Copies of this chain bind each other. A is one copy, B any other.
Amino acid sequence: MTTAPLTRDDCAALDAADPLAPLRDQFTLPPGVNYLDGNSLGVMPATAPARAQAVVQQEWGEGLIRSWNSAGWITLPQRVGDKIARLVGAAPGEVVVADSTSVNLFKVLSAALTLARRQAPGRRVILSERSNFPTDLYIAQSLAAQHGAELELVAPEQIAERLDERVAVLMLTQVNYRTGAMHDMAALTARAHAVGALTVWDLAHSAGAIPVDLNGAGADFAIGCGYKYLNGGPGAPAFVWAHARHAAHIEQPLSGWMGHASPFTFDTAYRPAAGMARYLCGTPSVIGMSVLECGVDTLLAAEPLGGMAALRAKSLALSDLVLAQVAARCAAHGLRSVTPAEHAHRGSQVSLACPPELDGYAVMQALIEQGVVGDFRAGDGTPEQPHLLRFGFTPLYTRFVDVHDAVTVLAQVLDTAAWRAPRFQHKAAVT
């Protein structure tokens, strides 16, 4: 690009003109922090402390056991699920909140394998992407062993060609956690269905980040995470969806009492609930689910302002901005974006590959010390799996000036080699 990069004033003007800007007031952001890690843990909604307090002190402390009815605990999985449904192209009643993403993946991948192989017993392959998030691969490995199937891992560009009659289930995370590359859910689902395979979509980096249309894509099963772009708090419960054509006649192996057709008759025999309630298992995390609702509400607040489509437009403007700013202001340092330049293939993050001479871990530590919080994702240092500086954009609270400021700090850390200071060299347990 030959146009001059935007100045900070230009960015401030963009913020001033941004109709989504008031949504930032929904959050309590710690002073001095430029938070670009909402794809790892979303920021706290300002309503969360009071909600947590009300659940603990009033609903539990005063209501005690009566709150299962009087405070609506018993319908929380459905109530919060219905709100999430609005963000992912699902209908009311199609999403329930439960357990963790990993546990929910176990449920739906097991259901999908059972269904696919009931229709075509010879199909043995779960097809996925080699750089899918590890927990997805681990759960798939377990179920593959149990079902006599095999997990086939390929590069993203090989997925379409490897989708054939051997495949029982295509299991993909829509947006890659490392690169931010986004799959075309509708196209890949259609292609999977054309060869008789089912699809399981992990929306961990999609829900609340990009417009998702599960029913529009005709997908089969989906799961997603509560604590990233949904701003649900650390370890927030996850969610699970199945297309209406599957929900009512597929059992899943985690047949706990909350998924029973009539949990409080205490029957001896399991009888799955109608529809998605059968994807519940044990007693749900009431406090966690209540706080998650605060996070989901921050996204629903965007609905009058254009909803996920408007958030998406801003997200792309933010990631375009960081790419242009890095290109213009950090060019000497050899950072290379591994995030697709094409909007249609990009999620809501930008990941920059570090050249061999740059210690990406130390660079990120130096950024964090100056209040710019992204994260570092180690690779093996090869061009295929480079070490990454990862920055997530949450248009609910990320401003254009934040992106400009972050690149200013990055350029300064690189130009001054500040990252070489010894205090940045040590690896922590979690980065």
Binding-face segment, A95-103, A115-123, A163-171, A211-219: A95-103
Binding-face segment, A188-196, A339-347, A352-360, A372-380: A372-380
A430: Cβ under 8 A from any B Cβ:
yes
Which residues in window 259-318 of A have CB below 8 A to B? 260, 263-270, 281-289, 291
Q: State in angstroms the CA–CA spacing of A377 and B61 once bound together.
A: 23
Docked-complex contact B270 and A138, CB < 8 angstroms: yes
Docked-complex contact A289 and B235, CB < 8 angstroms: yes
A334: Cβ under 8 A from any B Cβ:
no
Total residues of chain A contacting the partner, CB 8 A: 87
Which residues in window 207-257 of A have CB below 8 A to B? 227, 233-238, 253-257
- Chain B residues contacting A255 (CB-CB under 8 Å) are 138-139, 141-142
Q: Known: A56-B291, A257-B102. Is A153-B238 also a contact (CB below 8 A)?
A: no
Docked-complex contact B254 and A106, CB < 8 angstroms: yes
Selected A-B contacts with CB under 8 Å, 9 pairs: A41-B60, A52-B53, A99-B99, A99-B100, A99-B103, A100-B282, A134-B266, A142-B255, A237-B285
**0/1 interface trace, chain A 59-73, chain B, CB 8 Å (1 if under):** 111101111110001
A49: Cβ under 8 A from any B Cβ:
yes
Q: State in angstroms the CA–CA spacing of A269 and B135 once bound together.
A: 9
Q: Known: A28-B61, A237-B285, A373-B65. Is A74-B141 also a contact (CB below 8 A)?
A: no
Find the B residue at minimum CB distance from A237. Answer: B285
Docked-complex contact B266 and A377, CB < 8 angstroms: yes
Q: State in angstroms the CA–CA spacing of A413 and B146 once bound together.
A: 56
A20: Cβ under 8 A from any B Cβ:
no
**0/1 interface trace, chain A 82-122, chain B, CB 8 Å (1 if under):** 00000000000000000111110010000000000000000
- Chain B residues contacting A141 (CB-CB under 8 Å) are 255, 269-270
- Which residue of the partner chain, among B48, B268, B283, B288, contacts A134 with CB atoms under 8 Å? B268
Chain B CB within 10 Å — which of A59, A135, A141 has the most? Answer: A135
A428: Cβ under 8 A from any B Cβ:
yes
A172: Cβ under 8 A from any B Cβ:
no
A402: Cβ under 8 A from any B Cβ:
no
Q: State in angstroms the CA–CA spacing of A238 and B285 once bound together.
A: 10
Docked-complex contact A69 and B268, CB < 8 angstroms: no
Docked-complex contact B431 and A373, CB < 8 angstroms: no
- Chain B residues contacting A237 (CB-CB under 8 Å) are 285
